[in-house]
Amino acid sequence: MRHLLSAGDLDRDEALAILDTAERMHALQDREVKKLPPLRGRTIVNLFFEDSTRTRSSFEIAGKWLSADVINVSAKGSSVSKGESLRDTVLTVAAMGIDALVVRHNASGAVARIAGWVDCRVVNAGDGTHEHPTQALLDAYTLRHRLGGTGDAADLADRHIVIVGDITHSRVARSNVLLLRTLGARVTLVAPPTLLPAGVHCWPCETSWDLDAVLSGKAHGDVDAVMMLRVQRERMSGGQGVAGGPVVGFFPTEREYAIGYGLSPERLDLLGESVPVLHPGPMNRGLEISSAAADGVRSAVLDQVRAGVSVRMAVLYRLLAGADEVTV
């Protein structure tokens, strides 16, 4: 693996190898001294053109726990705000002798373009509405633990995962559909018709507009896990929307969206006790997810955050150390 740009780049063996490496990395989280030597002397730059809490900090922690030097560059405060082109910014950073670039950009496809300009390794940390492969890997890691036990052999074959919400604007949904299918799971996407993207019938999954019928198992069979997605206000209004701002054009009111597609306490009761609820964060409580769902026993939200560090350690390790076996 030279870069990680898309969940679709991973075949089943490669995906399972990353997840198994992440299992071993996870042991570090319970240690007092959280440091391993394999990336000593390597330099990783987190180049973020879009806001991030979880992804950027977990890539930074992952690199540091593997002993790499990690530098954060964000669009605010860089020469991008002085009018420098994306290519010039990227070539400038890459000219400093770095080993890997972890990039987030609001344009779909931008990270793949960047990978064509530089010699170092490139990891896609989210490009527009296109892909977020390490999110899909950490979701798969979390699902394996919640559904299959913790052994390396646990996998997601034939599990039914339901992904609910703003599919149109979600890079998380796209990467999850690709990876979950590679791992043999069955995926149903649930959204109002306005938030299902054109061409979704070509994706390797089923779709529905009826959340209650799907969650109760009446429409597409028993449900093993539910993933709620954020309503991405900043990508609405032709990209002119702002996070936390009004939702225009995709559904009548937030209240109607919450009634039709929010994971309310009543809807939680449609799910078995052991069905995990995932959300990639940041959550809009009261819109796509209720506090009862976000904080209840089924919630896997903080497990996802913890898995994010281990999975990103595994990805950086496999890209930069190139080895299969890791001793933790």
The minimum distance between CB 53 and ligand ASP, in angstroms, equals 8
Catalytic residue among 42, 132, 144, 279: 132
Across 130-152, b (16+ Cβ under 10 Å) vs e yields: bbbbbbbbbbbbbbbbbbeeeee
Q: Extract the tokens encoding 319.
A: 């890209």
Using CB under 6 A, which of 230, 233, 235, 267 touches ligand ASP? 230
| Beta pairing class for 160-164 and 186-190 | parallel
Catalytic residue among 55, 134, 142, 207: 55
CA–CA separation, 1 vs 101, rounded Å? 15
Which segments of 216-264 does DSSP mark as H helices, in order? 254-261
Using CB under 6 A, which of 172, 177, 185, 268 touches ligand ASP? 172
- Residue 24 or 171 having the CB closest to ligand ASP: 171
CA–CA separation, 286 vs 292, rounded Å? 10
| Residues between 129 and 148 with contacts to ligand ASP, criterion CB under 6 A | 132
CA–CA separation, 199 vs 174, rounded Å? 12
DSSP assigned state of 12: H
Cα 223 to Cα 178, 207, 208, 212, 287: the distances in Å are: 19, 14, 14, 12, 22
How many residues bind ligand ASP (CB under 6 A)? The answer is 8
**Beta pairing partners, 289:** 263, 285
- Residue 276 or 280 having the CB closest to ligand ASP: 280
Using CB under 6 A, which of 63, 126, 192, 308 touches ligand ASP? 126
- Residue 232 or 299 having the CB closest to ligand ASP: 232
Annotated active-site residue 82? The verdict is: yes
Annotated active-site residue 64? The verdict is: no
Residue least distant from ligand ASP (Cβ): 230
Annotated active-site residue 53? The verdict is: no
* Site mask for ligand ASP (CB under 6 A), range 266-295, x = bound: --------------xx--------------
Length of the chain: 328
Task: Establish if 181 lies at the interface with ligand ASP (CB under 6 A).
Answer: no
- Residue 146 or 171 having the CB closest to ligand ASP: 171
For ligand ASP, the binding residues (CB under 6 A) are: 126, 132, 171-172, 230, 232, 280-281
Q: Provide the annotated active-site residues.
A: 54-55, 82, 104, 132
